[in-house]
C-alpha cells in the first residue's frame, strides 16, 4: 500500500466518512421524496423506482468518490484497491461464492426473504427485465464496494491501521443495512470483517465486488423462482 501525502490522506478519509454516512441518507430517502415520486410516477418496488435508486447509488457511491480521488492529488485508483487480481483473489472468490449461493438457496424461499426480494415487485418478469436488473445490480455493487472496501477502507487503513479501519468500516456497513432488517444488519458484521481482511490481504476490492454481485444475483434469481406470485414470461 503506497503512502499518500498527509493532506491527501486526511482529505480522503474525511470525504469517505461523509459520503458513506450522508450518501446513504440520500440513497434511502431521496427516491421517496415528493419531487422524485412525481418525476418517476412509480411507487416503491416498481421498476422505475428500483432502477432510479440503483443508479442513484452508482452516482453517490461510485462517481462522487472517483471525483474526490481525482481532486485529492493522488489520481491513482490503485491506491484504493483497483488493481489487477492476484492468484489468491480467485481462490477466495470461489470459496465465498459457493458458500453464498448455498446459503441463498436455502434462504431464498423463506417468507422473510420473499417479503423483500426481488426488490422489483413486478409479477411478470421478461428476460429483458432480468438482464436489465442484473446489469443495474452489477453497476450498483461495483460502486458500492468501491466506496466501502476501496475508498473508505484504504483511506482509513492509512490513518488508523488495519483493525481500527476494519471496525469503522464494518460499523458503517452494518448501519446502512438497518433499513433492510435485523437479519441483514447482523449478517453484515461477519461478512464485513471477512471482506475487509481479504481486501487488505490482496490489496484489491475484487473479492468483495464479485462475491457481493454473486450474492445479489443468486438471491434475486432464486427468490424470483421461489416467489408464488412472480414468474418469468416465456419466450414465444
DSSP per-residue codes, 196-232: HHHHHHHSSSHHHHHHHHHHHHHHHHHHHHH-TT-EE
The pTM is what?
0.94
Contact 124, 130 (CB under 8 A): no
The residue to which cell 468501491 is assigned:
146
- Spans of the chain below 50 pLDDT: none
Q: Are strands 231-232 and 124-125 parallel, antiparallel or unpaired?
A: parallel
Segment 82-95, tens digit of pLDDT: 999 999 999 999 99
pLDDT value, residue 1? 65
Q: Tens digits of per-residue pLDDT, 103-123?
A: 999 999 999 999 999 999 999
Q: How many whole angstroms separate alpha carbon 127 and alpha carbon 134?
A: 11
Amino acid at each position: 500500500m503506497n503512502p499518500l501525502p498527509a493532506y491527501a490522506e486526511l482529505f480522503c478519509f474525511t470525504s469517505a466518512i461523509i459520503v458513506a454516512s450522508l450518501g446513504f441518507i440520500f440513497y434511502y430517502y431521496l427516491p421517496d421524496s415528493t419531487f422524485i415520486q412525481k418525476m418517476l410516477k412509480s411507487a416503491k418496488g416498481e421498476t422505475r423506482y428500483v432502477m432510479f435508486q440503483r443508479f442513484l447509488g452508482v452516482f453517490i457511491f461510485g462517481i462522487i468518490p472517483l471525483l474526490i480521488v481525482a481532486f485529492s492529488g493522488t489520481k491513482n485508483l490503485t491506491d484504493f484497491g483497483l488493481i489487477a487480481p492476484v492468484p489468491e483473489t480467485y481462490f477466495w472468490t470461489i470459496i465465498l461464492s459457493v458458500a453464498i449461493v448455498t446459503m441463498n438457496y436455502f434462504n431464498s424461499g423463506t417468507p422473510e426473504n420473499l417479503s423483500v426480494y426481488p426488490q422489483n415487485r413486478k409479477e411478470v418478469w421478461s428476460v429483458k427485465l432480468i438482464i436489465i436488473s442484473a446489469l443495474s445490480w452489477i453497476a450498483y455493487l461495483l460502486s458500492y464496494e468501491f466506496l466501502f472496501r476501496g475508498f473508505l477502507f484504504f483511506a482509513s487503513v492509512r490513518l488508523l491501521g488495519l483493525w481500527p479501519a476494519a471496525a469503522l468500516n464494518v460499523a458503517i456497513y452494518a448501519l446502512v443495512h438497518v433499513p433492510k432488517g435485523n437479519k441483514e444488519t447482523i449478517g453484515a458484521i461477519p461478512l464485513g470483517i471477512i471482506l475487509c481482511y481479504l481486501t487488505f490481504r490482496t490489496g484489491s476490492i475484487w473479492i468483495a465486488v464479485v462475491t457481493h454481485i454473486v450474492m445479489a444475483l443468486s438471491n434475486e434469481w432464486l427468490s424470483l423462482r421461489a416467489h408464488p406470485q412472480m414468474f418469468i414470461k416465456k419466450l414465444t
